[in-house]
Structure 1
Amino acid sequence: MTATLIQPTHVLDLRTIPPRERHPLIFGRFDGLAVGQALQLVNDHNPQPLHYQFDDRSYGQFEWTVLEAGPSVWRIQIARTADAVNAQPVARGDSCCSGGACCG
């Protein structure tokens, strides 16, 4: 799939947010997006565990695009591509550490 860059509705600099608040904030913002809107995350590490959570929680509803891949700054665009209707979660054996405690 070819990524389409969209002007983000929100830019979240996660480096300034306490770790336990990050994933709930991200999912709350994502849930508020209309199809065709996107948010951009800025982080100090690879947010791959968050990507796994998106696969589990919002499979078929998003497009994940790495805009910058470290080593000190990671920028990710998460675009809403569909509503939650009829989306099916994917079973994964490698879930996020401690239910979001990994600092996403």
Structure 2
Amino acid sequence: MSTTIATEIDVRTIPPYERHAQIFGQFDALEAGQALVIVNDHDPVPLRRQFAARTPGQFDWTYLEAGPALWRVQIDKTSNTAQEGGSCCSGGACGG
């Protein structure tokens, strides 16, 4: 499957307290097979951990540029749902 870059976000221009919310909002709007690229002045390791906890099995993380002054990371949306057990209905929890 070919990946389409939907948007590039330069997080250096966003106030720190808004960055992750904006990134997750953009990611959530993507379809599977689309990607976003973030540009930052440091390695966004905490963001990657949040992605792993929040959207397990739904993304790929690729460094396009890795410092020392600039980081560019491509985040591919691999699916719109978690691979296993990611649904609120798993085990009939939501009655659906």
Aligning the two structures, in what range does the TM-score lie when normalised by the shorter sequence? 0.7 to 0.9
Q: How far 1:83 moved relative to its partner?
A: 1.2
Q: How far 1:86 moved relative to its partner?
A: 4.9
2:56 maps to 1:43? no
Distance in structure 2 (CA, Å) of the matches to 1:48 and 1:86:
22
Please give the TM-score of this superposition, normalised by the length of structure 2: 0.82
Aligned residues: 86
What are structure 1's unaligned runs of at least 5 residues? 90-104
Distance in structure 2 (CA, Å) of the matches to 1:17 and 1:5:
29
Name the counterpart of 1:73: 70
Please give the TM-score of this superposition, normalised by the length of structure 1: 0.76
What are structure 2's unaligned runs of at least 5 residues? 87-96
Structure with larger RCO (C-alpha < 8 A, sep 6+): 1
2:28 maps to 1:31? yes
Contact 1:61 1:87 survives alignment (8 Å): no
Higher strand share: 2
Matched residues, percent identical?
Answer: 51
- Please provide the CA RMSD for this pair: 1.8
Point out the more displaced range, 51-60 or 80-89: 80-89
Q: Aligned with 1:72: secondary structure?
A: coil
